[in-house]
Amino acid sequence: MSKLIDIILPADQLEGTSATLSKWLVAIGAMVKEGDPIIELETDKVSMEICAPSDGAISEIIAAEGEEVQVDTVLGRMGEVQDSASSTANTTNTSNINGEPNASATSEQAVAQDEPEDDSARHLVGPAVRRLLAEHSLDINLIDGTGRRGRVTRDDVRGYIANPKPRQQAAPIASTSPSPYASVERIARPLAGKMVPHTKMRKIIANHMVDSLMNTSPHVTSVFEMNMTNIIEHRRWHKKEFAELGVKLTFTTYFLAAMAKAAQLVPQTNARFHDDALEMFDDINIGVGTALGDSGLVVPVVQQVQEMNLFEIAKSLNAQTEKARNGKLKPSDMKNGTITISNHGVSGSLFAAPIIINQPEVAILGIGKLDKRVVVREVAGVDTMVIKPMCYVSLSIDHRALDAHQTNMFLAEFVRVIEAWGE
């Protein structure tokens, strides 16, 4: 008789919070290997997978899809794979002393018969795979699945990205119009569409945004313009050096470093508002808004930025954003944020206002698209039009905690640090 192993929701992954079991990725009787994803969960901030604790077969499903589950809950059970000797013995000894079929053998045969050989698992798509598909605008139907029962894995998607298959072109439809300019009368018809249910993450984001803007913080946004020349030059000289050490040097790294300097000068921005006091923090823990395509937005936190040099910030930022995009974030990775940055310019946005404050913080920085613009500078005492790499930087604040004076002082220091980098 195989040993049964509990499949549980580990307490250290959720830190006492609850989650919803959104999908079982395997069925009863399915054979899995240790580390295979078998359950998909959603918390209020992340999607995550529970993996098989050992090799074996799924023997029991306890928690149903859509059910709220707590930490250390037994979600199901699986039978551990026996060694080859006992496995052979069990296969050959299928009858008992009276010549009747062995009960365990009969049950194993029934399981094998109940599971159709051609049962496809292509519809079982984990969050990491969904994010890759969304980020690269890929159609999963074009990707061959090498996982169990044809399931598309993250490696399958990455392999397709590296070597995409050409999409077959549909044959052109011959025109039946007498002229390319012939008009076609369109008749109004009922709207056709489909309802796509919100995920738990999307519902939480929606409630959080409405509550922050409408019920909690009176938002005010201030905007400065910033010259990126010096950090572009600094990055050009150092990104190869960082890459050789396995770290990607991004502009966001510089922004986090400048935010720490500005927050040290204006500690009211690195704070939490209470009815009777403003709680200002010693540590500057910066949340980095990270888009997950259609799946939503998460805010992994880079801790104690004020104690780091540029390389350490880049390394920590790389680790957090990589976990976010691969669906590996834990709630502890998004804990204790004190101020947030939204680098919305990476998707082409010049300016956004207000950027909704990530409660219970009191400020959020926005960085617009880097764009070459004509600006007027004094050259040899003469006003001269020159081309500079510029972007807009904004700070949306909780007006209960901050006024224009502190807001503009923060932005002025932030811009000063960026523009004077390396001087």
Please report, in tens digits, the pLDDT of each residue of the chain (423 residues total): 468 888 887 766 665 466 788 888 888 888 888 878 888 877 766 667 788 888 888 888 988 888 888 877 888 988 876 554 444 444 444 444 344 444 334 333 333 334 444 456 666 666 667 777 877 778 888 888 887 667 787 778 888 888 876 655 444 544 455 556 555 677 787 878 888 888 777 787 788 889 888 888 999 999 999 999 999 999 999 999 999 999 999 999 999 999 999 999 999 999 999 999 999 999 999 999 988 877 778 999 999 999 999 999 999 999 999 998 888 888 889 899 999 999 999 889 999 988 999 999 999 999 999 999 999 999 999 999 999 999 999 999 999 999 999 999 999 999 999 999 987
Question: How high is the pLDDT of residue 225?
Answer: 96
Query: From CA 243, how far away is CA 261, in angstroms rounded?
Result: 25
Q: 200-419: which CATH topology?
A: Chloramphenicol Acetyltransferase (3.30.559)
Question: How high is the pLDDT of residue 168?
Answer: 52
Environment class of 68 (CB within 10 Å of its CB; exposed 0-12, middle 13-18, buried 19+): exposed
The string of DSSP letters for 294-309 reads: GG-EE--EE--GGG--
Q: Which two tokens stand for residue 22?
A: 């959104």
Question: How high is the pLDDT of residue 393?
Answer: 97
Same fold, 127-162 and 200-419: no
- Rounded to 10 deg, the angle between the 251-265 and 229-244 helix axes is 120
Determine the length of the chain: 423
CATH hierarchy code of domain 4-83+104-114: 2.40.50.100
CATH 3.10.180.10: does it fit domain 127-162? no
SS (H, E, C) the chain: CCCEEEEECCHHHHCCCCEEEEEECCCCCCEECCCCEEEEEECCCCEEEEECCCCEEEEEECCCCCCEECCCCEEEEEEECCCHHHHHHHHHCCECCCCCECHHHHHHHHHHHHCCCCCCCCCCCCHHHHHHHHHCCCCHHHCCCCCHHHCCCHHHHHHHHHCCCCCCCCCCCCCCCCCCCCCCCCCCCCCCCCCCCCCHHHHHHHHHHHHHHHHHCCEEEEEEEEECHHHHHHHHHHHHHHHHCCCCCCHHHHHHHHHHHHHHHCHHHCEEEECCEEEECCCCCEEECEECHHHCEECCEECCHHHCCHHHHHHHHHHHHHHHHCCCCCHHHHCCCCEEEECHHHHCCCCCCCCCCCCCECEEEEECCCEEEEEEEEECCEEEEEEEEEEEEEEEEECCCCCHHHHHHHHHHHHHHHHCCCC
Domain boundaries, the chain: 4-83+104-114, 127-162, 200-419
Positive/negative CA dihedral, 130, 132, 138, 139: negative
pTM of this structure = 0.63
Query: From CA 289, how far away is CA 239, in angstroms rounded?
Result: 23
Query: From CA 253, how far away is CA 39, in angstroms rounded?
Result: 35
Question: How high is the pLDDT of residue 4?
Answer: 86
Question: How high is the pLDDT of residue 120?
Answer: 60
> Cβ distance 13 to 48 under 8 Å?
yes
The string of DSSP letters for 13-63 reads: HHTT--EEEEEESS-TT-EE-TT-EEEEEE-SS-EEEEE-SSSEEEEEE-S
Question: How high is the pLDDT of residue 119?
Answer: 52
Question: How high is the pLDDT of residue 19?
Answer: 78
Tell which residue, 93, 419, 378, has the closest CA to residue 255. Answer: 419
Query: From CA 88, how far away is CA 66, in angstroms rounded?
Result: 40
Q: β-strand 371-379 against 363-367: which pairing, if any?
A: unpaired
Residues labelled catalytic: 399, 403
Q: Which residues pair with 383 in a beta bridge?
A: 378
Segment 272-309, tens digit of pLDDT: 999 999 999 999 999 999 888 777 789 999 999 999 99
Question: How high is the pLDDT of residue 49?
Answer: 78
Segment 77-118, tens digit of pLDDT: 888 765 544 444 444 444 443 444 443 343 333 333 344 444
